[in-house]
Structure 1
């Protein structure tokens, strides 16, 4: 019969580390998808999604290892985490080198969507709805003299698509609010990636020592339960 042993410090340290990784990964995943998606980078969105799913998988494996107190699965966790760290490093280097380019692409996308709008086609709707902004500089872009003959504000410029209430109108332009918001999203994605990497290192250490303690305890149990050979 297998006896219990004290590995609580490493077990709970690994469990807490994995929970923190999951929390950081929520910000990493959501902000990364918004950043790459807003800049119309499909491959970037796939890359951050792949990294996010991989981090979630490794973290849930770590939680299982902590709850199960398994030496075998702690080895699996170590190998999986090393692979995830390599994936995160590749993503981090790529994102760091293209972050400014993504911001430029987003600004160009806003301008092109605004230029392509018509009275019957609100091409700015995705930007308005996501960032709660209106036009390039504000509602005045739609209410200026050259646009008076085209009607009032598009419904996407208002909260719940209701422009009958003046308080529902988004007053800030997308060239400032949307761009600023996306820069914040990019920064969160950047630092969340750093935080996850550091926590992964901590997870490696705690999983290693927990597995080592588990293996030592198993060896000790076997030694205690082995029959003593008397040569006399």
Structure 2
């Protein structure tokens, strides 16, 4: 009973914390990749993916540590979490300073892609498909200039024969608004993960300490003679 009482609260605290980190990291990972990728910043997308993968790895290690009640692996978790915290801090600093610049660059990219479109090369297709929008201001951008022809990317499942499949909102408003939301989710998810990582460090340390002290007590306990 003494062993279970000493370890169990910190064990489940660590387990819960790591699960919350993994859940928050889903939003951080996906929104970070979309935000950087939409602005044609491949290096930023790789950085978000790398940090997200590191967060996942550390959180899964924390779950393993909690389930195994391992003092040795709790040390590994503490080291890996410190590394993750440093990576998150660097990423957060860079993203915070570049966020407005990324959104501004995205607006310019949409306008450039729209100007470069042609019948043979639908340069707007990635924007249309990702954000479910059409043209800059709406389908009228194509209907007014191209004799009633819409690119297939302006429609759900590339099927423009059904009126309800057509994306009615322009990318200059919908895509920009959507990307703004994605960037905010990535920003705040980073803050939440950062806080949870510190909580994970605390709970892992206390669980490891309880496990070590319990082991010492077990080793020092006298052997009963029947």
Match of 1:92 in 2: 92
Match of 1:81 in 2: 81
TM-score (norm 2): 0.96
Structure 2 counterparts to residues 1-232 of structure 1, below 5 A: 4-6=3-5, 7-144=7-144, 146-148=145-147, 152-225=149-222
TM-score (norm 1): 0.93
Structure 1 residues 27-63: Cα deviation after superposition (integer angstroms, max 9, x where no partner) = 0000000000000001100100110000000000000
> How far off is 1:226 after superposition?
6.6
> How far off is 1:225 after superposition?
4.1
> How far off is 1:5 after superposition?
3.5
Structure 1 residues 166-224: Cα deviation after superposition (integer angstroms, max 9, x where no partner) = 11110000000000000000000000000000000110110000000000000001110
Which structure 1 residue ranges, 4+ long, deviate > 6 Å from structure 2?
none
Structure 1 residues 44-100: Cα deviation after superposition (integer angstroms, max 9, x where no partner) = 001001100000000000000000000011111111101100000000000000000
Structure 1 residues 128-164: Cα deviation after superposition (integer angstroms, max 9, x where no partner) = 00000000000000011x332xx51001101111111
Count of aligned pairs: 222
Counterpart CA distance in 1 for 2:188 and 2:88 is: 12
> How far off is 1:105 after superposition?
1.1
Is the 1:5–1:217 Cα contact (8 Å) retained in structure 2?
Answer: no
Structure 2 alignment gaps of length 5 or more: none
* Secondary structure class of the residue paired with 1:147: coil
Structure 1 alignment gaps of length 5 or more: 228-232
Structure 1 residues 95-146: Cα deviation after superposition (integer angstroms, max 9, x where no partner) = 00000010011111111110000122211000000000000000000011x3
